[in-house]
Structure 1
Amino acid sequence: MTFRTGDHVSWNTPQGKTSGTVVEKRTSDFQFEGQKFTASDDDPAYVVESDSSGKQAAHKESALSKKA
């Protein structure tokens, strides 16, 4: 499943499931908050913004689920 900017998604955290909005899709390797992420057209990563905290995080597509 491919997500687009503005899609509402959920993902698991150590504190439990959380949700937020896709801010950006990345298709090339990048660094985010000191972590290196590998991404490609076939295996993109997404920057998401949490609904509850407003903080941003990067996740692989496989870690995200679309929320209704």
Structure 2
Amino acid sequence: MSISKGDKVTWNTPQGTTEGVAKEKRTKEFSFDGQKFKASDDEPYWIVESTKTGAQAAHKESSLGTP
């Protein structure tokens, strides 16, 4: 699956499935919200923003779906 900036995406949380928007793709190691992530070209991460709360989080591209 290929995700582009601005795409609507879903991901799983302890409360259930959350919907949001893909904001920024990361392909190199980075820190976000006090955590380190080991992104790469083979396993990119996306900064996503929740439609419901506006909160942002980092998720592996492979863990994101489309609504």
Distance across 1 between alignment mates of 2:48 and 2:22: 4
Between the aligned partners of 2:33 and 2:15, the Cα distance in structure 1 is: 19
Q: What displacement does 1:42 show?
A: 1.2
Q: Deviations over 1:6-55 (max 9, x none)?
A: 00000000111110000000000001101111111111000000000001
1:28 aligns with: 28
> Aligned partners of 1:57, 1:2: CA distance in 2, in Å?
19
CA distance in 1, matches of 2:2, 2:61: 7
2: CA distance between counterparts of 1:15 and 1:32? 22
The residue number in structure 2 matching 1:42 is 42
Match of 2:11 in 1: 11
1:57 aligns to what SS in structure 2?
strand
Q: CA deviation at 1:2?
A: 2.2
Runs of 4+ in 1 over 2 A off after TM superposition: none
The CA distance in 2 between the partners of 1:53 and 1:21, in whole Å, is: 12
**CA RMSD, Structure 1 to Structure 2 (Å):** 0.7
- Show structure 2 runs of 5+ residues with no match: none
Paired residue type of 2:64 = L
Aligned counterpart, 2:56: 56
CA distance in 1, matches of 2:11, 2:41: 21
Separation in structure 1 between the aligned mates of residue 35 and residue 3 of structure 2, nearest angstrom:
22
